[in-house]
Structure 1
């Protein structure tokens, strides 16, 4: 093999020499000597290949490509081919182990500010203005009791069917309804409790952060359709030692007995709801004594609580729970009080019962709640993050502040950065339903992510809640019309790549009622007379309404500004490294406490465009009513002849009642000056 390699090398050298002699007809003596010397060196290297000048000169081109060429001034070290030429750099002995201290950590390695490395790099004002965006998790004890003692009692198919009806009603009506039956209460908890809890916890956490360490309300009232959702969230925020003097819950609805039972069960899973020994009734103490006696009889010896209780594993009970035997600190009211007042009132989606009652129901309920709010107390309003929910919150804000009369009034804690009229408020939720117009109607809402517990994952499996619904189908879902491919994709797939979280939008408002002592009232009147700015610094920071638009060397923030307008603030890199860094880390719902370079004020809807939008809404409403009447008449005409033959009087009475209840009939009756009112006429 070595002989073949040498012969091939000599052959290549001879060809190179022949080519060179062909190119140069006359060769000098010095050139011939140089060529002979090169030939001798090459042949010597072929005989002793290990004595090469470079360690990788005999490698293939693909193996030697990209390797460093050794310099002649490098000193040889060792005998190995790869370590013959080593360049040594001596470091200072002190600088080898010396590390620069981190500007974001203490000497022990803990963060100077914040809980994460991202928060540690923010400006202190940015961190103060930031909202908690962590994923909310429902407590394990509450998730277990919902799954094992509430939902597992119901048939899964019936529960999914009723939950689908809850979602359909919520999409159509845009507001929640009071559940009456036991199955409706279970479906409400399975469908809506998780997101409502996350929204309440997010809003109450912001209230606690804005008020500070002094936040410790001693009298709380929670109002809503759910199982004391606001009270459960407040208990989780305040901790196990939260023991106020008054805790009351009012579940909205005439038939609210079933929901009150479930609220009692959920509240009993929190440590701060366990009553003290002196609060236990005699009957409850007897029940506890009976349980202890039964345990002693079974085990044959007295149970040592100090040593053996930690090793005692209680069997998990699955089935219904008798709520009448549960004792908690929170009182479940049958109606709202008339004279009692509270330091904190939480209203969770309970200001409006019917969409067509807007804004009368909102005005009435707000006036009722304000009578129950103590001076220096807080009112928290939480609604769904749709157009109707935003308009409910905006209407309540307008009723409480009266910005048209008092432009610089103090009272809003969050989310507004001003006390003027809301720049996004239209005053009518039906205007958002108008189609075929060029205006982009935005509303204020925020997003919160919550981790799904086991019962939510079990609920949303299967066809009914995992596929897109066909609204044109007979059942409003179109489950029976699914293709075989869709059904096959759902079978045993486990939703690969899916997250165990879900998100929901909400609108909210936190109001603060000022004290009513003489000195405070005198100061407020003086500020009104001199048009003083009474707002706090944190309230003056703009609220970010959308996620920032990150452009090259620039960040655009769409904010609700202290000026009372919707503005676009531009934060370029030229403002500084810290400001630019913090602007890129902002999220929807945060406050912006640092500087900006330029401002673009967005135009509001002009009065002319507002009138045009109202006309379009009126036209669309008339068209919808006309189509509805056509559908009803088609239903009547398409009846069979047997319907007219069997009950003609009943059918005629039904048609006459529909006609008399129409608006057109009443209008024509007033014009004709009918003496008899069809509504009060009894036939005599």
Structure 2
């Protein structure tokens, strides 16, 4: 064979090798692992929430029926002002009665006040507040649906329903046979009934709207009870506690409480959570926290000696697309906003263990720590503040050296997610375990109420 024949043979062997290798790679591709299924199960984010088209159209029809649409914005601004005035925890007066409230730049100090919901306020709430409330409720319901595989509610009670926000969100998540919405405002209920007419389908489940919460022992308790953005309108702490006790008594299985993601909203949720846990403990009955806490101990961000609920509080965020009517109400050019909220999900029965959980992930997720703040993603490591199983707030670092999958899960983690991997480095306690006792409760009551 001459030099030409050898070169041709070399080309044919090279092409044959490449062809065989490519075909082999296509038929037997190497498995490429991106992240762990545990981290995917514990992920809280669901992307941007959109209002259902029938609901958005129903709200738009209500707005178009108004003669002077400018009043909707005027009334919405009053609602926003009232919400801002009740966002912060008031400082104890006994420290310095002459001390004036802190004033942020370009913002006047507002006296805390609430708004009574008449016909104008009910419409302004629907046009200016409902989308953000809907997004927060939808996120929580989606989390409950994904975390509790055996929870298939057939009846629902929505306390403080307003224009029916939680009911419209539940219709997108669960297959419920009967809804009951309770609200003191007749004008709010009238708006809810109008929206029901706009969104009703031939196979829609019946919805009953009423003004008062009545307990009938002859009727089975609703599987799901929701109170969203209603506790903040109850000024008295004693009345809040009485309301929470009634709601828990009504709940046949799961109770969901949601408030605005402000210091005062978080404090209301944390106290309500503790009231229920303490009451059931005294009755020697089982109850556990499904979310967001991985424990049933007192909340460290409110009941720990070093807690500062006016500076650091447990809350989360959900992005929502602003419909055209909301952009006009707010005079905004941006079509998205972030809804901040605090919440707790409580369920009757013992906390799931290795013997009574539906799936391994569902069982393990009850002990996974949760990110209470956005993680700090630095080069080569990720720093996270976590609420952990022993009832403390701890800081951990997930370095690249811990492994490809844990590090990738840490890089992809977001505020509110459950993190399934143990820490390679030493955990640093930032807030110790909460303690609830007579003296502690009295001290915290003065500080947080």
Q: TM-score surpassing 0.5?
A: yes
Residue in 2 aligned with 1:279?
A: none
**How far apart are 1:91 and its partner, in Å?**
3.6
Q: Is the CA contact 1:176–1:349 (under 8 Å) kept in the aligned structure 2?
A: no
Residue in 2 aligned with 1:383?
A: 259
Verify: 1:235 aligned to 2:157, yes or no: no
1:186-585 equivalence runs, <5 A = 186-212=123-149, 214-238=150-174, 242-244=175-177, 246-251=178-183, 253=184, 256-270=185-199, 274=202, 329-339=206-216, 340=219, 341-355=221-235, 357=236, 359-374=237-252, 377-402=253-278, 410-426=287-303, 441-461=311-331, 495=333, 499-514=334-349, 536-585=363-412
How many aligned residue pairs are there? 391
What is the RMSD computed on CA atoms of the aligned residues?
Answer: 3.6
**How far apart are 1:165 and its partner, in Å?**
0.7
**How far apart are 1:173 and its partner, in Å?**
2.5
Q: Which runs of 4+ in 1 moved over 6 A?
A: 403-409
Q: Is the CA contact 2:304–2:433 (under 8 Å) kept in the aligned structure 1?
A: no
Q: Secondary structure at the match of 2:249?
A: helix
Q: Highest Rg: 1 or 2? A: 1
1:609-628 equivalence runs, <5 A = none
Q: Is the CA contact 1:447–1:503 (under 8 Å) kept in the aligned structure 2?
A: yes
Q: Is the CA contact 1:393–1:507 (under 8 Å) kept in the aligned structure 2?
A: yes
* Unaligned segments of structure 1, at least 5 residues: 1-74, 76-87, 106-119, 277-327, 434-440, 467-494, 525-534, 622-684
Q: Secondary structure at the match of 2:301?
A: coil
Residue in 2 aligned with 1:588?
A: 415
Q: Is the CA contact 1:224–1:250 (under 8 Å) kept in the aligned structure 2?
A: yes
Residue in 2 aligned with 1:93?
A: 16
**How far apart are 1:502 and its partner, in Å?**
0.6
Higher helix share: 1
Q: Is the CA contact 2:73–2:329 (under 8 Å) kept in the aligned structure 1?
A: yes
- Give the whole-Å Cα distance in 2 for the aligned partners of 1:179 and 1:95: 77
Label 1:261 to 1:567 Cα distance change in 2 as closer, same or farther (>3 A). Answer: same
- Give the whole-Å Cα distance in 2 for the aligned partners of 1:569 and 1:369: 37
TM-score between the two structures when normalised by the length of structure 1: 0.52
1:609-648 equivalence runs, <5 A = none
**How far apart are 1:511 and its partner, in Å?**
0.4
Verify: 1:136 aligned to 2:75, yes or no: no
Q: Which of structures 1 and 2 has the larger relative contact order (alpha carbons within 8 angstroms, sep 6+)?
A: 2
TM-score between the two structures when normalised by the length of structure 2: 0.78
- Give the whole-Å Cα distance in 1 for the aligned partners of 2:434 and 2:56: 49
**How far apart are 1:513 and its partner, in Å?**
1.2
Q: Is the CA contact 1:411–1:513 (under 8 Å) kept in the aligned structure 2?
A: yes
- Give the whole-Å Cα distance in 2 for the aligned partners of 1:370 and 1:418: 19
Residue in 1 aligned with 2:429?
A: 601
Q: Secondary structure at the match of 1:602?
A: strand
- Give the whole-Å Cα distance in 2 for the aligned partners of 1:169 and 1:144: 27
Partner deviation per Cα, 1:342-394 (whole Å, 9 max, x = no partner): 11101012224344x2x2122111111122122xx100001000001101110
Q: Is the CA contact 1:362–1:395 (under 8 Å) kept in the aligned structure 2?
A: no
**How far apart are 1:604 and its partner, in Å?**
4.2
* Unaligned segments of structure 2, at least 5 residues: 5-10, 88-111, 354-361
